[in-house]
């Protein structure tokens, strides 16, 4: 299992690239794996929501993470990194539109902000750092401005909303801690 994990983690990494580029590629691969893992964990929401669970969008986000890893394996790293950035932000945007604010889906911005801080090059001369950061800011602002009632889950009781809030709190803190720990290890 560890060998498979390290193989996927090193998709797209090469000696011809700078250490920062290799770190960014590994970090994006790691974050895609984290997204895949937690999307799979998120399927447990089906037991809370039943038929209201959004299988289609979750399968789309899962597929985009796998596609990003595939692009990385093909060494199309810029495409893989851009797809990761869009997918992560689009999935958080959808979650925030799908659930009412009482569920706490906004908590998923903490892991994305941790990834922005740890993933991008601190130099704003790096166009991909600026792109990643700009996409994150754009989606955060869009969540405050855009409201798509047709996406919103229907008939959510206050008890279910509270259970989902606790669930989102635990998962977002777990993701933030895991990303912070693993990316810090990767950086060092």
CA neighbor of 28 nearest in space, from 115, 143, 90:
115
Secondary structure (3-state) at 96: helix
Statement: the pTM of the whole predicted model exceeds 0.85: no
Would you say residue 119 has pLDDT above 70? no
> What is d(CA 99, CA 161) in angstroms, rounded to the nearest whole number?
9
* Separation between Cα atoms, residue 121 and residue 130, nearest integer Å: 9
Residue 136's pLDDT band, with cuts at 50, 70 and 90, is confident
* Average pLDDT of span 144-173: 84
Residue pair 85/136 in contact by the 8 Å Cβ criterion: yes
Extract the tokens encoding 123. 């130099």
State residue 120's pLDDT score: 60
Q: Where are the alpha helices (DSSP H) in the chain?
A: 2-9, 19-42, 45-49, 55-73, 77-98, 109-119, 127-145, 158-187
Asked if residue 168 has pLDDT above 60, the reply is yes
Q: Per-residue pLDDT for 125 more than 80? A: no
């Amino acid at each position: 299992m560890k060998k498979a994990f390290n193989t996927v983690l090193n998709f797209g990494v090469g000696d011809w690239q700078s250490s920062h580029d290799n770190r960014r590629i590994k970090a994006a691969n790691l974050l895609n794996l984290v997204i895949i893992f937690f999307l799979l964990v998120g399927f447990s929401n089906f037991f809370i929501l039943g038929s209201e669970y959004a299988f289609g969008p979750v399968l789309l986000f899962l597929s985009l993470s796998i596609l990003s890893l595939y692009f990385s394996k093909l060494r199309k790293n810029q495409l893989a990194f851009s797809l990761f950035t869009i997918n992560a932000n689009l999935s958080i945007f959808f979650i925030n539109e799908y659930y009412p604010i009482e569920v706490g889906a906004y908590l998923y911005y903490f892991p994305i902000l941790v990834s922005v801080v740890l993933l991008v090059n601190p130099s704003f001369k790096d166009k991909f750092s600026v792109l990643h950061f700009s996409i994150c800011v754009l989606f955060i602002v869009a969540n405050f401005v855009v409201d798509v009632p047709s996406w919103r889950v229907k008939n959510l009781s206050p008890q279910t909303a509270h259970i989902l809030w606790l669930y989102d709190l635990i998962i977002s803190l777990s993701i933030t801690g895991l990303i912070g720990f693993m990316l810090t290890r990767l950086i060092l």
